[in-house]
A and B are shown apart, each in its own frame.
Chain A
Amino acid sequence: MGRYIVQRVLAAFPVLLIVTLISFCIMQLVPGDPAVVMAGPQATAKEVEQVRVQLGLDKPFLTQLGTWLYGLLQGDLGRSILLGRGVSQAIGERLPITLTLALLSFLLTVAIGIPAGVIAALRQNTWIDQTVMTVALIGVSLPNFWLGLMLIIFFSVVLDLLPAGGYVTLSQGFWPWFKSLLLPSLSLGLLQMGLLARITRSTMLEVLRQDYIRTARAKGLPAFKVVAKHAFKNALIPIVTIIGIIFSLLLTGSVVIETVYSLPGLGRLLATSIFSRDYPVIQGGLLLTAAMFVGINLLVDVLYAFLDPRVRYD
């Protein structure tokens, strides 16, 4: 097991390195002069020059990369042009909101998606199965930002039950905080719920056909025990592997959901930085989100090996 973990960690390094390079090189993609683009259309030649020096764009590419990497190792991602402060600091402030939103969505996804998939598998080809799968399929097909707006229309405009947007901190009370995150995490989570329900159902169906399930049933184990202990535990393995994908989808979705609900999270920060061409923030945000994904996948790999010993000896 130890060797396996070391192997996975070592394999993650080249990916992280390439991720870092890609994040940095995004700035090089801008056609023309990034300093001109960033300084804005009304900037004077002097202001453009100022931006160029501030970003180190007057230096050769490799020097720029070196400086950036050197800062990176010390946790310094440079300074935001628009916010006039450290990128790490700006991201650090926004990240908790996005993580809270992602976590809440994740909990909703797991709490609803997995049971729905299990029930659909146990009642295969009944109306229950068909209803669950239809809802899941529709969930996978709805654009989450549009769903978010529809939920606002229904729950905020028509019923006036939940706020249409804005973030309330936890210190202002649990319920107001929870209410401010409920619609966003629902609209963010529905796609993943559908995905998880579909995958849970198909892996459960596969497992339920195995001989050891028949044996368990034949020896007279109660149905619940067969499903929970023998079937579900084994079906869990493929389910765990898509957790990485789910996390990435949640981060991806946060950009647009935070925009819809005016939540001051990392996604919103990245979206606004992209519009104002605040490249240091874009680079930092890209790197951070991708690094988180690599980290999560590493964790999933290890968890996978823990759940399924066959993987370790592959």
Chain B
Amino acid sequence: MRHRLFVSGLVLLGLMVLMAIFADLLATHNPVQVRARFRFRPPSFDNFFGTDNFGRDIYTRVVYGARLSISIGFAVVLLTAIAGTAIGLISGYVRRLDNFLMRIMDALMAFPTIILALALSAALGPSAFNIVVALSVVYTPRVARVVRASVLVVREADYVHAAQAVGASNLRIMIEHILPNSMAPLVVQLSFVFAYAVIAEAVLSFLGVGPPPPTPSWGSIIAEGKDYIREAAWITLFPGIAIAMTVLGLNLLGDGLRDVLDPRMNVDNR
């Protein structure tokens, strides 16, 4: 049962990633070309998901939106993984720095994520890169805390004491012994960070601090469709389904990974 959910998560996410990679092949129209004559066409064989107020093909824009969302999500995962692992490792292993680093992480986590990300990306200016920076700042503490927690457990393990006894350097112990054994919760957390990042990117684009138009982003397509939900609900409907499918896939994947990698949480299978 759990296994099946994990696989369906993998399939869902895989589909979205494929859509992002092969966007050029899958697209049926030009994603940014304005065609006034074709405004507000409902879904049809020519325009699978209908057209928007500029006559642009929603299906094509959703397909290209996947490229943006998935790459932003992936970049955020990569950055938070690096920063979060470094901070978590140092904090968990070098006790003198622990209190200092963790209070900063606590403070960052105290801000409501979207509000902080919104303020950061507004300060930095609207672009895909700045969204990645803002979201990485916001989600790094979550990763750091998870890594730190598992480091605290692992550092008391016998093999770490053994490594210390034979005189291995701290850096070496951290990277060769502690890091690989703290991997499982990290991977689980990262799959959820990916999911948060996809939603957060959509929210930021919806609010207007995303990549500037006409770049197709799921959030900004929804924002444009918002004013026409009475006449042309399809503009809003389809990008939302795309977000939901991506996030659902990631959540299923995260749940599945947790069940496999973290037996303590695995109460459902007993």
Chain A partners chain B: yes
Q: Could you tell me which A residues sit within 8 Å of B by CB distance?
A: 14-16, 18-19, 22, 26-27, 29-31, 124-125, 137-138, 140-143, 145-147, 149-150, 152-153, 157, 202, 205-206, 209, 248-249, 251-253, 255-256, 259-260, 267, 270-271, 274-275, 277, 282, 285-286, 289-291, 293-294, 297
How far is it, in angstroms, between the C-alpha of A252 and the C-alpha of B233 when the chains are bound? 26
10 A-B residue pairings within 8 Å (CB atoms) = A16-B107, A22-B107, A30-B123, A146-B243, A149-B222, A149-B240, A152-B229, A209-B267, A251-B115, A290-B111
Contacts of B243 in A (CB 8 A): 143, 146
Contacts of A19 in B (CB 8 A): 107, 110-111
How far is it, in angstroms, between the C-alpha of A140 and the C-alpha of B255 when the chains are bound? 12
Q: Do B103 and A18 touch (CB < 8 A)?
A: yes
Closest 5 CB pairs of A and B: A146-B240, A18-B107, A252-B112, A141-B248, A290-B110
Shortest C-beta distance, A194 to chain B (Å), equals 10
Contacts of B251 in A (CB 8 A): 137, 140-141
Interface centre among B114, B202, B252 (most CB of A within 10 A): B114
**Interface residues as binary, B151-163 with A (CB distance below 8 Å gives 1, 0 otherwise):** 0000000000000
Contacts of A291 in B (CB 8 A): 110
Q: Do A143 and B108 touch (CB < 8 A)?
A: no
How far is it, in angstroms, between the C-alpha of A290 and the C-alpha of B122 when the chains are bound? 18
Contacts of B195 in A (CB 8 A): 141
Shortest C-beta distance, A207 to chain B (Å), equals 10
Question: B270 an interface residue at 8 Å Cβ cutoff?
Answer: yes
Shortest C-beta distance, A154 to chain B (Å), equals 10
Question: B62 an interface residue at 8 Å Cβ cutoff?
Answer: no
Q: Contacts A22-B111, A138-B244; is A15 near B233 (CB within 8 Å)? A: no
Q: Do A274 and B248 touch (CB < 8 A)?
A: no
Contacts of A270 in B (CB 8 A): 115, 118-119
Interface segment out of the listed B15-23, B31-39, B206-214: B206-214
Q: Do A157 and B103 touch (CB < 8 A)?
A: no
In the complex, the number of residue pairs spanning A and B with C-beta atoms less than 8 Å apart equals: 144
**Beyond known contacts A149-B236, A270-B119: 6 more, CB 8 A cutoff:** A19-B110, A157-B230, A251-B115, A256-B207, A286-B116, A297-B110
Interface residues on B, range: 35 or more
Contacts of B244 in A (CB 8 A): 138, 141-143, 146
Q: Do B103 and A14 touch (CB < 8 A)?
A: yes
Contacts of A16 in B (CB 8 A): 107
Shortest C-beta distance, B219 to chain A (Å), equals 8
Name A147's closest neighbour in chain B (CB-CB).
B240
Shortest C-beta distance, A105 to chain B (Å), equals 14
Q: Do A205 and B229 touch (CB < 8 A)?
A: no
Q: Do A293 and B110 touch (CB < 8 A)?
A: yes
Q: Contacts A143-B243, A146-B236, A146-B243; is A294 near B123 (CB within 8 Å)? A: no
How far is it, in angstroms, between the C-alpha of A252 and the C-alpha of B206 when the chains are bound? 14
Shortest C-beta distance, A271 to chain B (Å), equals 6
Q: Do B252 and A137 touch (CB < 8 A)?
A: yes
Contact check: which of A137, A149, A153, A293 meets B111 at CB < 8 Å?
Answer: A293
Contact check: which of A137, A150, A206 meets B240 at CB < 8 Å?
Answer: A150
- Contacts of B75-116 to chain A: CB distance below 8 A: 103-104, 106-108, 110-116
Q: Do B106 and A15 touch (CB < 8 A)?
A: yes
Q: Do B122 and A277 touch (CB < 8 A)?
A: yes
Contacts of A27 in B (CB 8 A): 123
Question: B237 an interface residue at 8 Å Cβ cutoff?
Answer: yes
Q: Do B267 and A143 touch (CB < 8 A)?
A: no
Contacts of A18 in B (CB 8 A): 103-104, 106-107
Q: Do B230 and A143 touch (CB < 8 A)?
A: no
Q: Do A206 and B267 touch (CB < 8 A)?
A: yes
Contacts of B58 in A (CB 8 A): none
Name A287's closest neighbour in chain B (CB-CB).
B111
Shortest C-beta distance, B224 to chain A (Å), equals 12
Q: Do B123 and A259 touch (CB < 8 A)?
A: no
Q: Do A256 and B206 touch (CB < 8 A)?
A: yes
Name B107's closest neighbour in chain A (CB-CB).
A18
Contacts of B268 in A (CB 8 A): 124, 202, 205
Contact check: which of B107, B202, B229 meets A153 at CB < 8 Å?
Answer: B229
